[in-house]
Structure 1
């Protein structure tokens, strides 16, 4: 049955219904020759004789009667499946609201929105700028956004996520810091430096991760000043009141004057993810994840792994 062609089956069912190849052709808007060819190909695929031609039309064999009885159900099931698929695709038209911090996503957010709108007719993608991760979480929780781009971990907040990019970690240092001229550093090199903390993260778990706490030896990371936002972190670093650990891409997106951004070779990467709630339109979320991974190259890395 794996070789059964639906076109051939539809032609046979029309012949069985009309008891005439000519009549079936009229119903299907096909030539008599095309209908006859479909029936012969179906018989060849199944290895049976399905009908016998007579001067008054056709007679079904026992095998033909069996196929006529069950074939209509098969065709109906396929038709209903096609309708469900089209309904799901049609339901995608509407609005998808994406919350994002411009510093984290400006390299690809506009491209993603344009690509999704091009793929899904009638879809409108709204990019909702958020001031910081906690603001993104508020937009998700109050229903103002369907999904958001956020660095993990977010914390145990009842949301789903899928990683779309992995970013190396860097330390931001004052140019007067003793390590400012190094090309790379380790967490051990930074063991005595207090870490500035922006008061915008979504959970204690997230804060610990951004601080690389605990350190590889199990000791705590020194806590530096708690400041309102990212820009304040840079100001504190510039005044030598601490260091800041951040995803390397922020170097190109956050003005930092003459501060030094130095890769930390033994620190975990930051994973950027699409984060969404249960009420979000899942088919669109799936397309969103695939599109972002394609732009960032994360899909290739997943397959390579």
Structure 2
């Protein structure tokens, strides 16, 4: 038995309702011959006789009665499924508001927006700039944005996240620092260096992670000056007032002549994540995560699945 063709089933059900092949053809805007052909093809697919023609119309066989009883439900279910599919596609149209801290995401945010708009007809991705993680968080919780790119951890701020890139951690030192010419450092090498702290993070947990506090030996991280913005860290470091521990990609995006960016071999890496609220469109977020990971080359670890 081959699969049932929905067109043939609809023609059969119309015949059942009208008790006439001619009447069914009029309702379906088909010729009598086309309706008859559909019914015969349906009978061949099922291997049964569904109806007999008489001078007073058609009569259903037992098999025809059974198909008529269940066939209408099948057609209705398929119609409802089609509506849900179209609704899901329609839900992806409109605007997706994506917050980007330029220092973190300018290397790929534009590409992601372009790819997503091409992949989802009718979608407009609006990129919104924010100077700090705190501002990104405000835009999300206030409902002014759907998703954002932020480095983890965030702390308990009521957001969902998925990692999209992993970045090495570097120590930013003054060009005149005794360690500035080293190709690589360890946390022990900079154990006595006060760490400059930009007042931009979302939680004490996030600040401890950026400071690597406590250090691997249990000692607290030495605290340097607090500055308003990330860019201010470079000014303080350039003047020799401490070091700054930062994600490596910022070197490309924030060049400064008076500092050196040196990888820290034994420091935990930064995870850049897409972050979103409960109200964000789930289908679009899922697609967005996939597209960003393709662009960044990030491969999900088993413990993140």
Give the TM-score normalised by structure 2: 0.86
Relative distance call for 1:180 and 1:69 in structure 2 (3 A) is same
Asked whether the equivalents of residues 155 and 206 of structure 2 are also in contact (C-alpha less than 8 Å), the reply is yes
- CA distance, structure 2, for counterparts of residue 297 and residue 152 of structure 1: 18
Unpaired runs of at least 5, structure 1: none
Residue in structure 2 matching 1:302, options 297, 300, 303: 300
* Corresponding position of 1:185: 185
Q: Secondary structure at the match of 1:275?
A: strand
Secondary structure in 1 matching 2:165:
strand
Aligned to 1:209: 209
C-alpha change, 1:71 and 1:194, in structure 2 (3 Å) is same
Report what 1:197 is aligned to: 197
Once the two structures are superposed, the pairs formed by residues 54-69 of structure 1 within 5 Å of their partners are 58-69=58-69
Q: 1:212 to 1:34 in 2, by over 3 A?
A: farther
Give the 3 Å change call, closer, same or farther, for CA 224–284 of structure 1 in structure 2.
same
* Distance apart, 1:205 and its partner CA: 0.6
Question: How far off is 1:293 after superposition?
Answer: 2.2
Change in CA separation of 1:5 and 1:177 when aligned onto 2, cut-off 3 Å: farther
Distance 1:32 1:219, change over 3 A: farther
Deviation at 1:21, TM superposition (A): 5.1
Q: Separation in 2 of the partners of 1:130 and 1:295?
A: 22
Question: Residues of 1 paired with 2:19 and 2:86: CA distance?
Answer: 33
Q: Per-residue deviation at 1:20?
A: 4.9
Closer/same/farther in 2, CA of residues 7 and 270 from structure 1, 3 Å limit: farther
Q: CA RMSD in A?
A: 2.9
Instruction: Name the structure 1 match of 2:132.
Output: 132
Partners of 1:202 and 1:217 in 2: how far apart? 26
Aligned residue pair count:
303
2:163 equivalent in structure 1: 163
Partners of 1:33 and 1:286 in 2: how far apart? 48
Q: How many angstroms apart in 2 are the aligned matches of 1:208 and 1:28? A: 70
CA–CA separation in structure 1 for the residues paired with 2:116 and 2:198: 33
Distance of 1:161 and 1:272 partners within structure 2: 9
C-alpha change, 1:206 and 1:57, in structure 2 (3 Å) is: same
Q: Deviations over 1:148-207 (max 9, x none)?
A: 111111111111222222222222122333332232223233322222111111110111
User: For structure 1, which segment, 16-25 or 244-253, has the greater mean C-alpha deviation from structure 2 after superposition?
Assistant: 16-25
User: What corresponds to 1:95 in structure 2?
Assistant: 95
- Following superposition, the deviation at residue 254 of structure 1 comes to 0.8
- Alpha carbons of 1:134 and 1:175: their partners in 2 closer, same or farther (altered >3 Å)? same
Structure 2 CA distance for aligned equivalents of residues 231 and 174 of structure 1: 14
Contact 2:2 2:45 in 1 (8 A): no
**Cα displacement (A) at 1:132:** 0.9
Distance 1:275 1:8, change over 3 A: same
- The SS at the match of 2:184 is coil
CA distance in 2: counterparts of 1:101 and 1:261, whole angstroms: 20
Deviations 1:96-132 (A, max 9, x none): 2222111111112122222333344443322221111
Question: Does 1:234 find its partner at 2:242?
Answer: no
Distance 1:227 1:27, change over 3 A: same
Structure 2 gap ranges (5+) = none
Once the two structures are overlaid, the 10-residue window that deviates more, 216-225 or 245-254, is: 216-225
- CA–CA distance in structure 2, aligned partners of residues 297 and 187 of structure 1: 28
